[in-house]
Each structure stands twice: as C-alpha cells, then as structure tokens.
Amino acid sequence: MYDAVISAMNHPDPFNPYMGLFNFRSIKALSTTDASLDVVTPRPRAPPVGPYSEFSDIPSRHDYSSHEVHYPRFLYLLPQKIFKYTLSSRSFSEMLPKYISTNFETPDICHAGHIHYDGYGLIPYCRTNDIPLTVMGRGKILNNFYDLSQLSRKKIRETLNYADGIFCVSKSLARIANNITEAPKATVLPNGANPSRYPTDNEAAIRRELGIDQETTLIMFCGGYTERKGINEICDALDSIRNDDIAFVFVGHYGDLRTDLIGELKASHHENYRVLWEVPPLGLRRWFAAADIFMLPSHAEGRPNTIYESMASETAVVASAVSGIPEQVVDGETGLLIPEKDSNALTTALNSLIDDSKERERMGTNGKQRLISKGWTWEAHGQRLATLHESIINDGQLPASEVLG
C-alpha cells in the first residue's frame, strides 16, 4: 500500500470528456491496485468571454468513481508557442506545489502524466519534501526534443534528470529519454486495450445500424486531422485506392486538416465516407469492431493506442514503420508496415488488403492474439505501474533489469 499524488493536465473534465483519455485510463487502472491516489488536473484560468470562457464552469472537483480529480487554476497565456515554457510554465509550477501542500497529505511518491507541464511542475514540491518523482514519457515531446527551443530542452532535460523513473510507452521513446538524461532511468510501460470491451461478436448487427453493407470493405482512420498523422498522404492516395465496394470512416477530435480531407474526398471517386468529430468511446469501439482495415500513416508516434484498439477488435493494420509502431505491428502477420510520407506505399498496402478478405481476417486474428500474449491491457498497465512505483519507494531507484539498455 502506498500513497501517490498524480498531476495530469491532459485528463477529462465534465466539459471536455475526451481530453487525455490515456491518462484517465492509466489512473483508473492504477486505482485498482493497492495505491491510494490524489489526482490533480490543473486548468487554465478562464477569461470572462471568448472560446475559453467555459473553463470557468469546470468544478473544483469531480468524482469519476475510480478516482476523484481536483481542478486548480493557473495562468495559461496564448499563443502557446510563445508562453508555454515561460510564463505559463512558471505559473503552473508555482501553483501546483502550494495546492498539493494545502489539500493533500504528503504522499510516498508523485507521478506526472506528462514531462511538461506536469513533471516540471512537480519538481519544487518533490524537492522540498524529498519525495521521489516519476514521469510518463510520451511521443510528442521526446520525438521532437531536438527540434525544440533551447529553453524548452532545458526544462525537459531538468525534469528527466530529476525524475527517479521515466516510463515510456515504447522502446524507441525510452531510448530517446536515456540519451537525454545524465544516467539511464527510462523503462517501457505500455498502454493497451481490453478485447472484451470491443463488440466484435455483434459486428453484423453493428454494421446494419451504421448503414455499412456486410460485403463492403470498411477502412478506418482514428487520430488527429494533422500533417503528423498522415492526413496529407491519405489525401494523395485517395484516387488510387480501389473503389470496389469500399467505405471510409475518419474519426478525430483535433487538427486543422479536417476541411482539407473533406474537400479531397468530395473531389475523389469515392462516395461512401464519413468524417466524424468527437465520437464517444462506446461509439468508437463499435466503429473498430465494424472496420476491416485500420490505417495510420503517421510521421511520428509512441505506441498509438489506436493500434492497440485495432488489435483488440481483430482489425488488420496498415501503418507507417516509425517510432514504436513496429514494436506493435508485425509486418505481414498482424498488418502491413509502410515507409513514412509515402502515399504510393499506402495505396499499395490498402489495395492488397481490399482484394484479400482472408488475409485481413488472418491479420486481425493474429493481432488480437499478440495483444493478449504480450499483456497489452490497461489492467496489466496498472499493475506494472504500481510495481515500478513500489520499487522506487522501497529502493530509491528502478531495478537495473528494468532500465532499457
């Protein structure tokens, strides 16, 4: 049994229920262990009017059944590119230690859902109270570390060097983290998906409800409508993708290329498509269960949760061979890996699976078996996170066998 304070700026709130679902699921999984949790999700102070004024309606606390979340406020200045690592970062790191000290008992360990803001903001509290700190290393900051400003790199490096453990969702990210720090301290903590939550047994009924014919090949994309997720490559590939009874569904909740994608779809020879926004988790799992092929031609990733979801729903994957994706997808066995930024390779891979339903089914079955055999579930994630925390609390560091060499 141990006590932990968790800061996760990216976490749902009553008005943004799909924000940071990976953090929510991670914390929920940890709550099923012997850990006692206090969770803080700092939110920007709301302006009196404008698109961000709704932040004022977020309650100070909200009970999610598995854990209660506190929503203290800090000064968050726009544009983010200018102020993220300066004034906003300073406001966050000044507010967070005071809030924790005032509202919670001193924990055994602090855990950050992200390196920045969360990890950097927890350092003053951990330093003052001599408490160990662990941070989650996710794709965006680590993959882009050497492209960031000098100030940004300084704060991220300080956080990683101070942390007692860096938990990365993939081996590729753990290696990047260990190259940044003075001493290696990164290990792999996979996310996952639970196959029992994906209604694959009801696929025929779900397709009827969604208006997708049983013989139609359904190709799915789920992610941001952004350049980094490969939307431009998808647009370039559309006219070369077979139109022999296929349908597309695109699901996203952020990104500025959605309008471009819709325009390219309208101009293409494809007529059966949907471009959706903010699909609830239950609805998303139904789309995964209905899909035949999942495509994700990303430029950079950690280990995408959407690929775990594809595996859980027995859906063949076509994805770029970047970052942690080859750790998930076995080329030719659970899906097809393609070079990044290659729309021709995307076309070829999709067309080959459109033409071969038995190959799709084989890959989908293999994907689910791989997910189960590797233990890539949220339950396993929570147990492993608790074990790593207890090692640091009891021994002051991760076992040498856990650190990625």
Tell me the average pLDDT across 255-263.
97
* Contact of 6 with 111, CB cutoff 8 Å: yes
Write down the pLDDT at residue 51: 64
Q: Is residue 361 domain-shared with residue 298, that is, in the same domain? A: yes
Give one DSSP letter per residue of 310-371, joined into a string.
Answer: HHHTT-EEEEE--TTHHHH--BTTTEEEE-TT-HHHHHHHHHHHHT-HHHHHHHHHHHHHHH
Q: Is residue 176 domain-shared with residue 206, that is, in the same domain? A: no
How far apart are the C-alpha atoms of 236 and 227, rounded to whole Å?
12
Q: Is residue 129 domain-shared with residue 252, that is, in the same domain? A: no
C-alpha distances out from residue 314 to 173, 234, 294, 332, Å: 26, 22, 10, 15
Write down the pLDDT at residue 81: 56
* Contact of 156 with 318, CB cutoff 8 Å: no
pLDDT tens sequence across 319-337 = 999 999 999 999 999 999 9
- Spatial CA neighbour of 308 closest among 136, 169, 208, 167: 169
294 has which bridge partners? 220, 317
pLDDT tens sequence across 350-385 = 999 999 999 999 999 999 999 999 999 999 999 999
Q: Is residue 199 domain-shared with residue 331, that is, in the same domain? A: yes
Q: Is residue 284 domain-shared with residue 220, that is, in the same domain? A: yes
Q: Is residue 242 domain-shared with residue 212, that is, in the same domain? A: yes
* Contact of 337 with 326, CB cutoff 8 Å: yes
Q: Is residue 386 domain-shared with residue 364, that is, in the same domain? A: no
Query: What CATH number does the domain containing 396 carry?
Result: 3.40.50.2000
Q: Is residue 221 domain-shared with residue 180, that is, in the same domain? A: no
Domain of 123 in residue numbering reads as 2-192+377-402
Structure tokens at 245: 């009874």
For 93, the 3-state DSSP assignment is helix
Domain count, the chain: 2
Stated pTM of the model: 0.92
How far apart are the C-alpha atoms of 203 and 199, rounded to whole Å?
7
Give one DSSP letter per residue of 29-55, joined into a string.
Answer: HHHTTTEEEEEE--EEPPPSSSTTGGG
How far apart are the C-alpha atoms of 241 and 339, rounded to whole Å?
17
Tell me the average pLDDT across 174-192.
96
Q: Is residue 132 domain-shared with residue 45, that is, in the same domain? A: yes
Q: Is residue 276 domain-shared with residue 187, that is, in the same domain? A: no
Q: Is residue 243 domain-shared with residue 324, that is, in the same domain? A: yes
pLDDT tens sequence across 76-86 = 765 555 455 67
Q: Is residue 108 domain-shared with residue 31, that is, in the same domain? A: yes
pLDDT tens sequence across 147-161 = 998 999 999 999 999
DSSP annotation of 269 reads S
pLDDT tens sequence across 47-76 = 777 666 777 889 999 999 999 999 999 987
